[in-house]
Structure formats: structure tokens, C-alpha cells
Amino acid sequence: MLGSLNLDLVVSVEAHPHPGDTVLGSDVRTFPGGKGANQAVAAALAGGRVGMLGRIGRDSYGAQLRAALEGSGVEVGALLETSGPSGTAFITVDRHGENTIVVSPGANRRLAPCDVTADHFGGVGVLLLQLESPLETVARATELATERGAIVILNAAPVAPLENALLERLSLLVVNEGEAAALAGLSGTEGAVAAAERLQERGAEAVVVTLGGEGTLWRTPQGGGSLAAHPVEVVDTTAAGDAFCGALAARLAQGESLEAALHFANAAGALAVTRPGAQPSLPTRAETEKFLAQGA
């Protein structure tokens, strides 16, 4: 796993403020987060053996972030420290469980291409990345992991322009509907299937598009399919995508087919929205299997 680590500062509000508004919220709650760390924990809880490469600051937040990973079974030997603050995310959650997030990258911004070496990928079966780390570092990691024969998965969030050369190194691109349209250069009215196919034309071997309450679809060179969303009571959507991506990577690393891994990941993402916070909301393998066994 290569990616970001943030301490999340979360406030619940009745409704999100508009520009110029002041609204009252709940007491601040703190949770370990960051897309990279969330997905690392999600993968570990799903049964994967996971190591984390990223940067934290030499501050109290950094110590909390390291401890949270270790407590979830994630290996932190490749976790680097830098002077200055750790990454921080400021999150508001409304009464419907929908969130808005402002990220201050802090130490994450300092994860450089030179921090990533071929030695990091010895024995690695799957590399999962996101875009809260510098793009040049993400690109370097995809090069090295591809050379070592790893499955390379990019969750292109937050969305940013990507070169075709990077897309061509991906085994799997995971995006939501808006991200898919932006990367494909479409308006969004053409639909997720068209966006996925355009991204394949640009070089991605396979594409998964998450559709929130509408489920998930995928396209591979052999075809594609879709899964409906699980009906659950939404409490907080903060880490739903991270639960999905981490669980997906773990199951692929265990040798499952893409369709079977997506079935599991779809359930893990659904469970995550029923709980508050980022990492505290992530389900274990046993919880997800029980959810599926109940016919959810």
C-alpha cells in the first residue's frame, strides 16, 4: 500500500453550510484516516497481509496514525517521518450521513519518488494506490510494481489528470461516476459504461466504477457486469470507498476472481456506511462474510 495518512477531525451538523454561513455542530471527534491508511486497514481487516508506505509528521498526530495502523495489523516498517505536521482532514457529516472533506496534506505532500524503491515491492502481489500522494510518486510506484509483476490498482481519488502512460500500467482502475467522467473527458451524461470503456481505450486494463446507492459496474477485456447496492441505513459515508478498495485488493491478493472480489468489496463498503468515522467503520472479514451469508 502506498498512500496518505491523515488525522480526521469530524463534526456532525444538521446541514452543510453554504458560503458565508455559520452553523453549529457537535463536539469534535478524532479518527485515524487518510485514503491510503484507511485502505491499508480495510485490506488487513479483510484478511490481507499489508504493508504501508507513506509519510507522517513528527507530531502527536503522526504517533496516533502509526499506532492505529499497528493496532490493525498493518506493517509500518516502510512508514517514513518528516519534520512538520502530519496530514489532517476536516470533515463535516450531515443528518443524512453525507460528508464534506477538506484535506491539509502535511507530510503526505513530501512523499517523493526517491522514497520509493524496487525493494519495497519484493514479494508484493498487489499494490493499491490513491491520489492523495504526489502524482509523480504514484507514477514511480506503478513503474516499479509493474516491473516486479504486481497487480497494480489505482483508486483515482481525489481525481486528477492522468497520463495514458500511467493508465497503461494499471491492472485495475477504481473510480466513482464523477471521477470516471472527468478522467474520460465526458460530460457525465454519457453514463458510467461509456466512461469505463473510454478509460480502457486510454490504457487501463480493467475499470471499476462505483455508483453509490446504484451499486457498482466493471469492464474488463473479457466483458463486464454490475452489482446492486446493499440496502442499509446510512450513518456516515466517509470511508465507504476506502472499505471497498481495501477489501477488493485483499481478495484479489488471495487469488479470487475480479467478480468474486467485487461481490465481497461491495458488501464491505455497505457495512462501512452504517458506522461513524473512517477506520473505526471498516468491517472485518468475518463481519462481511456474515453480512453476505444473511443474504444482504
94 is catalytic: no
Backbone angles phi, psi at 2, to 5 degrees: -125, 130
Amino acid at 183: L
Q: What is the DSSP track for 248-289?
A: HHHHHHTT--HHHHHHHHHHHHHHHTTSSSSGGGPPPHHHHH
Q: What is the DSSP track for 199-250?
A: HHHTT-S-EEEE-GGG-EEEEETTEEEEEPPP----S--TTHHHHHHHHHHH
Residue 231: exposure state from Cβ atoms within 10 A (0-12, 13-18, ≥19): exposed
Distant-in-sequence, close-in-space partners of 117: CB < 8 Å, separation ≥ 6: 144
In angstroms, rounded to a whole number, what is the distance separating the alpha carbons of residues 262 and 11?
31
265 and 254 in contact (C-beta within 8 Å)?
Answer: no
What number of other Cβ atoms are within 10 A of residue 270's Cβ? 23
At 25 the three-state DSSP class reads strand
8, 115, 236, 242: which one is catalytic? 242
Nearest to 278 by CA among 57, 49, 108, 45: 45
Q: Do strands 223-227 and 216-220 pair parallel, antiparallel, or not at all (unpaired)?
A: antiparallel
What number of other Cβ atoms are within 10 A of residue 81's Cβ? 14
In angstroms, rounded to a whole number, what is the distance separating the alpha carbons of residues 37 and 66?
9
**In the structure grid, which three cell numbers stand for residue 258, read together?**
475480479
Which residues pair with residue 217 across a beta bridge?
209, 226
Q: Which residues are catalytic?
A: 242
